[in-house]
Structure 1
Amino acid sequence: MTNATGEPAVTRLYARLVVSDAARAIDFYRDALGAEETERYTGPDGTIVHAMLRLGGAAIAVKDADPADPAPTSLGGSPVIMALDVSDADAVAEAMVRDGATVVYPVADQHYGQRGGRLADPFGHLWMISQTIEDLTPEQIQARTNESFT
């Protein structure tokens, strides 16, 4: 497949989350975020080498850590933040905490028209949970951002 200019086209993009216990992580993402597991492949020892989950219109993959792919918990954390837009940020954050996540930044109204916060799941991955509470133009967001830094 190629794009309009004849160059190779991107056909899919998804995050691949490496965790220390993929089966438990899949349960967490299902229970806390409503994820649906669509495929799973295991190695001879039962470790999950690839599982695909659907979260609304998005997809993520989950796999058990191994020597080639370490989990964030073995690296002191992850610099990547998964941004998840939801219809009720408070309810999703509550479900995540109930299932073992910790609050990094509590859910609150933000200057850029979102209600949201940041949580760390039990496997070392960071999630920014947000919902739109105001429809703002890019100019309005920039003006509010400028004000928030003064």
Structure 2
Amino acid sequence: MMPGVVAGFPRAAQGKLVSATAENNYGFASTGAGGASNIGGLDPASFNIVPGAAATPGATGEILDLYWHGQNQFVYLTVRGSYSNRDQLPFTSITVNGVTFTKSTATDIGVQYVGYTIRWNRSANPFPVGAHVINVNS
């Protein structure tokens, strides 16, 4: 059996978003996309959304940004890799503390920095300062 696979099905990746804030942005951001950079963190560092993949810096599937932008009220997700649309991202949904973000309802933003960015409309901040459990469902 392959690591990360349970009874023939990839297990959901699980980690923590350690949310911080800067300039009305909340969550984790490393790229500077949307004006957010160097806030928060992930545990494990280099958290990966590819089923069964290790948390390795620079690997395809590494989460580069997961944050709420307070001014325009969007949740942004940037994933490292050569993706050209949201359908290529290797997950169906991400749940953070019980709030689910479904890939099919996201808006494509496109290639930014070394990854691909999507966003969801979200008027309320889902990532207040503190630790939040992340589950990535494939």
The structure having more radius of gyration, on CA atoms, is 1
Relative to its length, the structure with more helix (as a share) is: 1
Measured against the shorter chain, the TM-score band is under 0.3
Relative to its length, the structure with more strand (as a share) is: 2
What TM-score comes out, normalization by structure 2 length?
0.25
What TM-score comes out, normalization by structure 1 length?
0.24
